[in-house]
Amino acid sequence: MPPITPDVASIIEVTGGVDTHLDTHTAAVLDPIGRVLGTQQFPATAAGYAALLAWMRGFGRLQRAGIEGTGAYGTGLARRLRDERVAVIEVDRPDRKTRRFQGKSDPIDAIQAAKTALAHERTSIPKQRDGSVEALRNLRVARRSAVDQRADAQRQIKTLIVTAPDDLRAQLRGLAVKQLISTCANLRPDRTDAATPGTAAKIALRSLARRHQQLAVEIADLDELLEPLVAAINPTLVAVNGVGADTAGQLLVTAGENHGRLTSEAAFAMLCGVAPIPASSGKTNRHRLNRGGDRQANKALYRVVLCRPRWDPRTRAYMERRTKDGLSKKEIIRCLKRYVAREIYQLITTNDLELAA
């Protein structure tokens, strides 16, 4: 393709596509009818983002760009393009059929991203990562890691107790978790006798128990930051029956900072994996369980539904009525998760309108 003159570039509307990686980004540009105008690789740095943008604009007026991995390697580039008033579109990776026929390379993936953005197929608006919700997500990553590691330490302690010498096992079995951790953390084994299985078990139990205690301190420290942050972002959501700071935080992170990317409450339900999938054929009209979506958000909605029957008369009445209709407990919970998703969506978007006002 010959170089495009500045006069022509000001008239032609082009679409970009980027295949992102840790160190480099490969870009492609298409004209309005999908012809490839060029491909080029750039470093994944601030200077590289500027060069990539200038290169794309050399072919015409850049209106939109499809990017793979806007929530990972493409975060910096997506932020730069938005600052430059370029519409950023998140695209899925090419499906297996496309890759089977076209092959796999960075330029091919960049071209496919541009074609997907041009056709508006399998695309979505990426999350903005420059606000308080992104800060919330970062803190929740650290907290979730600490919670998982604390649970692992607790399981490992109980596993070691099963195979410990009889006297040590008799001392520790039957203790409540809090007392067990405290007892193990206060063990005083003789380190010079570490070759003995009983002494080695005590050393290991003390190490795991102290790790458990340290992780508990980290979780409490993060909770002190998370709870006021969640309340500041959406105080109405935290006040909902069955929704605590942890649940609200997960749902806010799933929705993202720019809630306009959620076109409807049905889209939010699909994002959370609580919208049934049509599975009809011929005279059969049915739906099947949705196993997609954000599973952490699905888990958060599940926790809300489990809390509601105890405190919410409406939920108890609904469960009694649906039980008389012949639905199982699992089916009722699935229905309730869908209703809760609708309620949560309305609270999130209403909060946006209140902030705008």
Residues 10 and 112 in one domain: yes
Residues 119 and 45 in one domain: yes
Residue pLDDT, tens place only, 2-27: 555 555 555 789 999 999 999 999 99
Residues 63 and 174 in one domain: no
Task: Return the pLDDT at 121.
Answer: 74
**1 contacts: CB under 8 Å, gap ≥ 6:** 36, 37, 38
Task: Return the pLDDT at 1.
Answer: 53
Residue pLDDT, tens place only, 42-95: 999 999 999 999 999 999 999 899 998 888 899 999 999 999 999 999 888 766
Strand runs (DSSP E) across the chain, as ranges? 13-20, 24-30, 36-43, 61-67, 87-91, 123-124, 277-278, 287-288
Task: Return the pLDDT at 336.
Answer: 93
- Percentages of the chain per state (helix, strand, coil), in multiples of 5: 60, 10, 30
Contact 127, 89 (CB under 8 A): no
Q: Measured in Å, how far apart are the chain's first and last C-alpha atoms?
A: 50
Domain end, chosen from 214, 233, 252, is at: 233
1 is a domain residue: no
Residues 61 and 94 in one domain: yes
Q: CA-to-CA distance for 352 and 128, rounded, in angstroms?
A: 15
The domain in which residue 156 lies consists of: 132-233
* Proportion of the chain above pLDDT 70, given as a percent: 92
Average pLDDT score over residue span 199-225: 96
Domain end, chosen from 101, 124, 147, is at: 124
- One DSSP character per residue, 304-342 reads HHHHHHHH-HHHHHHHHHHHHTT--HHHHHHHHHHHHHH
Residue 122 — pLDDT band, cuts 50, 70, 90?
low
Whether 353 has a pLDDT exceeding 50, the answer reads no
Which of 1-15, 192-206, 234-248 is predicted least confidently?
1-15
Contact 84, 95 (CB under 8 A): no
Q: Which residue has the tokens 């306009």?
A: 260
Residues 86 and 20 in one domain: yes
Residue pLDDT, tens place only, 266-324: 989 999 999 888 877 777 777 777 888 899 999 999 999 999 888 888 899 999 999 99
